[in-house]
Every structure is written in structure tokens, then in C-alpha cells.
């Protein structure tokens, strides 16, 4: 068996289903050819091979590269001033209704050039990469007009080409109503669905379609129109659902067979049951829960009971989750939501890959999958959820190449 690279003298958390916790192999090896895993298993079972490069990892743990499946990585400016307002008692809704929140980021994003947006996003991305991320989802939604939404998505594609990570893009045109359309809300909904989305799709900028379904954002009927358009264009959907109230978002996501329903702090048991029946992944976003000082956690017991797979992501964004550390998100998911370390790490690998429609490509260490790996200076996988702020990443590989 010929290979470009052999990774050996390591412990593997393959994150495959069944078997040992974390899919662990205590003395493992991986053979990589053309960016893909062609063999993985105990080192004692290595087949005869010729490897052009051998990486000996001195007992380090190797996991699949972490997958941040919900971010708003591309935006202009920041909202540290609103952070101060919230600490002084203002609610997220009050800030949004006063013209802050998403609209504030919209103004800064529209004013920024593509190069400026790229530079600021890549600076934030460094925190994710330093905590093991090899795949990141990037949403639009801070442009809220045709030119700025396409600009954001072009920047996201550029990040995927140049910045050492895989990128999946989500069109989030229904994120907020821009000020110029407040008096004609329906006109903006028409623009977002019938103009901007087709233009983005024609330019090859969209991997999925997202929306924000809340009383302060968009209704079930408006989101349904968007999802029907996405379906007509052959695009999968996902949804910001039930973050601030139970608006039926989980059930709406299930009705359209969404890849994921994200946040879901206020989802009802009926909504969770529908997600389980439709095989919709729940994306948990503990950074936003922390920063908004929420008190109603996602219904973890119901998600377990109804067999809903749980992913974990940073929700990296300028307003409600300025979190640029994937391991911090794992820690918060365990501490705030009571996930086990294995559930949290599964949520940042196998389940996060599924939330992006990439289960066949990434998320586990298996033959045929992309050789996206993270190498850790830890004694057991639970340490990825245990340390808060300690540098524990030794290396990342994307398509079998150290980056």
C-alpha cells in the first residue's frame, strides 16, 4: 500500500459510533494518500506500506479536525458598546429595537471592503484554528442588501481558498429587516428571496440557506417562503430556532428536513420530537447563552430522549457570541448544558459534520474521509473540554497536510 504520509505513535479518538468511548485506539496509526485516509487502526495491524513521509507523534492524541458548524465570522466592526449596555441592564431585544444589534453590524459591514472584511475575519479565525478547527461554516446576514450579502459570501469563499480551513457558506438574508425597508417589510422579504438568493446561487456562493425565526426577526410564513425557494434551487436549509421564545422553529425546521435547528433553548417537546423524526441536528450554542446571560438552557434531556443528535458550535459573531475558541465552546457546553465530554466532542466532530451535510467527508477518522486531523497535547480526550484557555493543540492537518 503506497501512502503520501504515515501518522504513527499516537492515540486516536476516531469519534466513530459504537465500540470504545470516543472510538479510541490507544496505539494507532493512519495512512494518508491524496488527502484522504486509506487506512486507520491499531499500529500493530498496519498493512505493508510505503510512506513518503512519516510523522511520529510521541503518544499525542489525534482527533478529527474540529468542525465549527455555526459562525458569523465575516462582519465589519464590533459591538463591544452593546456588551456594556447589556451589562448595564439593557436586553438584546431592547438594543435591537433601538437600531442596534444586527443593524449596527450591517452598517459597518456595508462600509467595509472585501479586503477589510477578509482581514478581520482571518484574524478571528486564528482563534478557531488554534483550538483545532479545520472546517468552519460562515453565514452572510450582515449585509442585508444585494451587494453587501454577495460581498460577504465572496469573502467566505476566499477564506476557504486561502486561510487553511474548509468553509461551508450559508445565505442568511432573513436575519433582520434593514432600516431602509422598515416601512415596507414585505419588499425586503421579496428582495431577499427572489433577488439576492438566486444571485448568490448563480455565482456559486451558497451551500445552504438559513433564517432567523423569532418575533423580533422573521415569521414562520416568511421563513417558509424562503425555504420553498431554497428547495426549488436545490439547496439545503437550516434555522436559527426558538432562541428567545418558543415560536415553533424546531417544528418548522423538521417540516423542511433542515440540516439543523440552532439555539433551540425554548423548543417544546413536540418540536424536539419532530426534529428526531426528521433527523434534524440540534446545534447548541453555549457562547450566546453565556453572553446573553440566559437562564433557560436547551432541552438536553428531551433531545436525548427523542434521539436528536447534538452538535456544538461557537456562534462566533459581533453581538451575542464574540467567541473565537472551539475548545471554550466545548467547555461551556459541558458546564452550562451538562453535556458529557464525549457528547461535546462528538458534537464538534461527527454531529457537526452532519449539521453541514458533510458526514461522508469529515467528522470521523475513517477510511475514505478527508484527512483533516487535530493533534493534541493531552492525556485523555476529556481534556479538550476541561481546560479553559490553556493551549493544548500541537498541530492541524487539512487534507493530510500540516497547516
Has 175 been labeled as part of a binding site? yes
Gap between the Cα atoms of 268 and 299, Å rounded: 8
Has 142 been labeled as part of a binding site? yes
- 372, 378, 381, 387: CA torsion to nearest 10: -110
- Alpha helices by DSSP H, 77-170: 80-87, 92-97, 102-111, 114-129, 146-162
- 126, 30, 55, 36: CA torsion to nearest 10: -60
Gap between the Cα atoms of 164 and 65, Å rounded: 12
Gap between the Cα atoms of 297 and 290, Å rounded: 10
Has 53 been labeled as part of a binding site? no
Has 320 been labeled as part of a binding site? yes
Has 79 been labeled as part of a binding site? yes
**Residue 375: φ, ψ to 5°:** -110, 130
- Rounded to whole angstroms, what are the CA distances from 357 to 22, 30, 152, 362? 21, 24, 21, 10
What region does 298 belong to: left with phi over 0, alpha with psi -120 to 50, or beta?
A: beta
Has 243 been labeled as part of a binding site? yes
User: What residues are paired with 284 via a beta bridge?
Assistant: 312
Q: Which helix (H) or strand (E) holds 174?
A: strand 166-174
Has 306 been labeled as part of a binding site? no
Has 351 been labeled as part of a binding site? no
Gap between the Cα atoms of 109 and 134, Å rounded: 25
Gap between the Cα atoms of 99 and 310, Å rounded: 33
Binding-site residues sit at 70, 72, 79, 142, 175, 240, 243, 315, 317, 319-320
Binding-site residues for Fe(3+) sit at 70, 72, 240, 315
Binding-site residues for Zn(2+) sit at 70, 72, 240, 315
Binding-site residues for N-formimidoyl-L-glutamate sit at 142, 317, 319
Binding-site residues for 4-imidazolone-5-propanoate sit at 79, 142, 175, 243, 320
Amino acid at each position: 500500500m503506497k501512502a503520501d504520509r504515515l501518522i504513527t505513535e499516537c492515540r486516536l479518538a476516531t469519534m466513530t459510533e459504537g465500540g470504545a468511548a470516543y472510538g479510541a485506539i490507544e496505539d494507532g496509526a493512519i495512512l494518508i494518500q491524496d488527502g484522504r485516509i486509506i487506512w486507520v487502526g491499531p499500529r500493530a495491524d498496519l498493512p505493508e506500506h510505503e510512506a513518503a513521509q512519516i510523522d511520529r507523534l510521541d503518544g499525542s492524541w489525534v482527533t478529527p479536525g474540529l468542525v465549527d458548524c455555526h459562525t458569523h465570522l465575516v462582519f465589519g466592526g464590533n459591538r463591544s458598546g452593546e456588551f456594556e449596555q447589556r451589562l448595564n441592564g439593557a436586553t438584546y431585544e431592547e438594543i435591537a429595537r433601538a437600531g442596534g444589534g444586527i443593524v449596527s453590524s450591517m452598517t459597518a459591514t456595508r462600509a467595509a471592503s472585501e479586503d477589510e472584511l477578509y482581514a478581520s475575519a482571518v484574524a478571528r479565525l486564528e482563534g478557531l484554528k488554534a483550538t483545532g478547527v479545520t472546517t468552519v461554516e460562515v453565514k452572510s446576514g450582515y449585509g442585508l442588501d444585494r451587494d453587501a450579502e454577495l460581498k460577504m459570501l465572496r469573502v467566505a469563499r476566499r477564506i476557504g481558498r486561502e486561510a487553511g480551513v474548509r468553509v461551508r457558506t450559508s445565505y442568511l438574508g432573513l436575519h433582520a429587516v434593514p432600516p431602509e425597508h422598515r416601512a415596507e417589510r414585505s419588499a425586503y422579504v421579496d428582495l431577499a428571496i427572489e433577488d439576492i438568493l438566486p444571485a448568490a446561487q448563480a455565482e456559486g456562493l451558497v451551500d445552504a440557506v438559513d433564517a432567523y425565526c423569532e418575533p423580533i426577526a422573521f415569521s414562520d410564513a416568511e421563513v417558509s417562503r424562503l425555504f420553498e425557494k431554497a428547495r426549488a434551487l436545490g439547496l439545503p436549509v437550516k434555522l436559527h430556532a426558538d432562541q428567545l421564545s418558543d415560536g415553533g422553529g424546531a417544528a418548522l425546521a423538521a417540516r423542511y428536513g433542515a440540516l439543523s435547528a440552532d439555539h433551540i433553548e425554548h423548543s417544546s417537546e413536540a418540536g424536539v420530537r419532530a426534529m428526531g423524526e426528521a433527523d434534524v441536528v440540534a446545534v447548541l450554542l453555549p457562547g450566546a447563552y453565556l453572553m446573553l446571560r440566559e437562564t433557560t438552557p436547551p432541552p438536553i434531556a428531551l433531545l436525548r430522549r427523542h434521539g436528536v443528535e447534538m452538535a456544538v458550535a461557537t456562534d462566533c459573531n459581533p453581538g451575542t457570541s464574540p467567541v473565537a475558541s472551539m475548545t471554550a465552546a466545548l467547555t461551556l457546553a459541558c458546564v452550562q448544558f451538562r453535556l458529557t465530554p464525549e457528547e461535546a466532542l462528538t458534537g464538534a466532530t461527527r454531529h457537526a459534520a452532519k449539521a453541514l451535510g458533510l458526514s461522508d467527508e469529515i467528522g470521523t477518522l475513517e477510511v475514505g474521509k478527508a484527512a483533516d486531523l487535530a493533534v493534541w497535547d493531552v492525556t485523555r480526550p476529556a481534556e479538550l473540554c476541561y481546560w479553559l484557555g490553556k493551549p493544548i493543540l500541537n498541530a492541524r492537518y487539512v487534507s493530510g497536510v500540516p497547516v
